[in-house]
Structure 1
Amino acid sequence: MSQLDSDLDRLACLAGRSRHVTDLPGGLTNHNVRVRTDDGGDYVVRCSHGDAGLLGIDRDAEHHNTVRAARAGVGAQVVEYRPDLQMLVIEFLPGDVLTDDSFADPDVLARAAGAVRRLHGGPRFDGDFDMFARRASYLATVVSRGLPLPRGYDDFEDAWSDVRRALEAAPRPTVPCNNDLLAANFIDDGGRTWLIDYEYSGNNDAAFELGNTATECGFDVARTEAWAEAYFDDVTRADVARVRVQALCSAYGWSLWGFIQAAVSPFEFDFYDWGLVRFEKAAAVFRGPDLANLLTEVARG
């Protein structure tokens, strides 16, 4: 904590202010702390660690996109950005951190979908996010470093190419996306939902955003359909199919993030198992009976 205290002292927003610091749970690439000052300030300081470039994280883009998410009315206000200290300071958002089970409540589901729509309708982000390019980069890192992959990971290369062709057959405009909307990145105060953590943000297919949440939160088909219905004004079969296919893309691509982190992260966490869970989700879809029909629906647009 002595190094953290020293770094906090160097932040302009905290200089000369008495404060109370508490750790915040979560965060697999950052150490997050809540800082409350005696004069009423309430902040979250994101302290970055590790090799951000290895994971494809652009801290400057994260900062810019966090500012733009706040302008869209869904993100916390940025208070200070200090790349020299690897710190980003944002306002603390009061509310409940969602869990996977939270989405069983139709009101929560609707508020969360509304927040995603507001983000997607807000200012364009710095940079683009394409899971096909991201996965290729991650896989190159895995191969170059000789990192272990689960048995059968390479069995789905042809099917992965089929998925890409189907999505490209009916392209959609990109919108500003968080790209990492697991349950813990939704903050809900009972009347409004906020979205946090823009490390992997970039302009992307809206369906990837929805599919990412669907797979991260363990949605079954029925809840995935309800999630799509809550987001789209007039949902179509192609919309739902695209969300389900992008959920597959999220699980298959992000699994590699876990395998890389297992080798390089300073955090004590079972990253390999984290990646394995996502790979097994993807493998089940690749091997399942629905993929061919989903790809046909997606390609029809």
Structure 2
Amino acid sequence: MATELPLSGGLTNRNTRLRLPDGREAFLRQGHPVPASLGIDRAVEWQLYREAAAAGLSPPCHYADPARGLLLIDWCAEPSWAEAPPPQTQAIPALARVLAVLHRFAVPPVQMAVRAHAARYRRQLAVLPSWLSALERPLLASREPDECWLACHHDLSPANLLGPRPWVVDWEYGAAGHPGFELASILRTHGWSEEDGDALEACYRAAGGSCFELNFRPFLPWVDYIALLWALVRRGEGEDPAIEAWIARYRQRLE
């Protein structure tokens, strides 16, 4: 019988480290019971994970049940970039190579368009903060690029990158998306500057990336807005006492 070791750190899932009697180890992900409320399509997640594992981007998967949100993959003992961040001079080219490979995947049938994704979270708010309408009005009146749709991960944060390679995990938000939104999300979650984004884009083209211009700058406020709405939804669920700091950070970025 396997030994189960519950893991912390999952924001919406239940994660477990399994130790089998023969010494092998695996990672079991039990997903959020209502994935659609988070903009997650389990069938698309599984489609992208299979391609990622075949391409050597993600650890091998031993079992998946998209309908139940179950995923059993090889245990990876390498630390995440959140735990042991590589030097930026190594991280930027490494992520550029990940994007170049990812953008060669088949384009998923489900899109993550920023307006629809934001609206999904906004509809879940039982009470709208008094300050939200004025904060979001300029962004909603703008026009974001929509000329390019490729396979995207949409959550290439430090916690989802393991080791110097890196191994890419947590494909829940995978969908067809604009690569500029993907890059903008990377900059925000890694704390990188717009100049770092230019450097990553140059490395991406050098690695054979298929999109000539990622055009990430118009998407930076969209990343902030969607993160803010996600945090407001989480606060309404009453699950995380630390969520107020998240809300304050993204609200400040949009002001």
For this structure pair, what is the TM-score category when the shorter chain's length is used for normalisation?
Answer: 0.7 to 0.9
Query: What residue in structure 1 maps to residue 205 of structure 2?
Result: 232
Q: What letter corresponds to residue 181 of structure 1 in structure 2?
A: L
Name the residue aligned to 1:19.
2
Distance 1:104 1:66 in 2: 27
Question: Given the superposition, is the C-alpha separation of residues 221 and 42 from structure 1 closer, same or farther in structure 2, using an over 3 Å criterion?
Answer: same
Distance 2:130 2:18 in 1: 41
2:111 maps to what in 1?
128
Deviations 1:206-259 (A, max 9, x none): 111111010112112332222222223399xx947x212222211112211111
Q: Which has the larger radius of gyration?
A: 1
CA offset at residue 85 of structure 1?
5.1
Give the 3-state SS of the residue equivalent to 1:208 in structure 2.
helix
Shift of 1:44: 0.8
Which residue is equivalent to 2:41?
58
Contact 2:46/2:66 (<8 A) preserved: no
Which of 27, 44, 54 lines up with 1:44 in the alignment?
A: 27
Q: Is contact 2:81-2:158 (8 Å) kept?
A: yes
Which amino acid in the other structure matches residue 142 of structure 2? D
- 2-side partners of 1:269 and 1:230: how far apart? 39
Task: From 49, 68, 86, give the equivalent of 2:51.
Answer: 68
The equivalences for 1:255-294 within 5 A come to 255-264=228-237, 267-283=239-255
Deviates more, 1:208-217 or 1:78-87: 78-87
Cα pair distance change 1:25/1:239, threshold 3 Å: farther
Moved more, 57-66 or 178-187: 57-66
- 1:74 aligned counterpart, secondary structure: coil
Deviates more, 1:126-135 or 1:96-105: 96-105
1:1-20 counterparts in 2 under 5 A? 18-20=1-3
Matched, 1:94 2:77: yes
Alignment CA distance shift 1:278-1:198 (3 Å)? same
Say if 1:282 and 1:162 are closer, same or farther in 2 by CA, change over 3 A.
Answer: same
SS in 2 for 1:97: coil
1:174-225 deviations in Å (ceiling 9; x for gaps): 111111111111112x3x2121111111011111111101011211233222
Quick check: which one's helix share is greater? 1
In structure 2, relative to structure 1, the CA distance for the partners of 1:84 and 1:155 (3 Å cut) is: closer
| Aligned partner letter, 1:278 | Y
What is the CA RMSD across the aligned residues, in angstroms?
A: 2.6
Counterpart in the other structure of 2:137 = 157
Q: Which position in structure 2 is the counterpart of 1:179? A: 154
Change in CA separation of 1:84 and 1:214 when aligned onto 2, cut-off 3 Å: closer
Q: Distance in 1 between matches of 2:30 and 2:235?
A: 20
8 Å contact kept, 1:261–1:271: yes
Q: Assess if the C-alpha contact under 8 Å between 2:80 and 2:159 holds in 1.
A: yes
Unaligned runs of 5+ in 1: 1-17, 284-301
2:191 to 204, 208, 218: 218
1:140 is displaced (CA, Å) by 2.2
* Match in the other structure for 1:201: 174
Query: Residue 123 of structure 1: CA displacement?
Result: 3.1
TM-score, normalised by the number of residues in structure 2:
0.86
TM-score (structure 1 length as normaliser) = 0.74
Equivalent residue in structure 1 for 2:18, among 12, 35, 49: 35
Query: In structure 2, the residue corresponding to 1:124 is in which secondary structure?
Result: coil
| Percent of residue pairs bearing the same amino acid type | 21
Q: Deviations over 1:115-153 (max 9, x none)?
A: 1221122233342111111112222222xx22x436255
Structure 2 CA distance for partners of 1:150 and 1:193, relative to 1, 3 Å: farther
Pair 1:141-2:88 in alignment = no
User: Which residue identity does 2:245 align to in structure 1?
Assistant: D
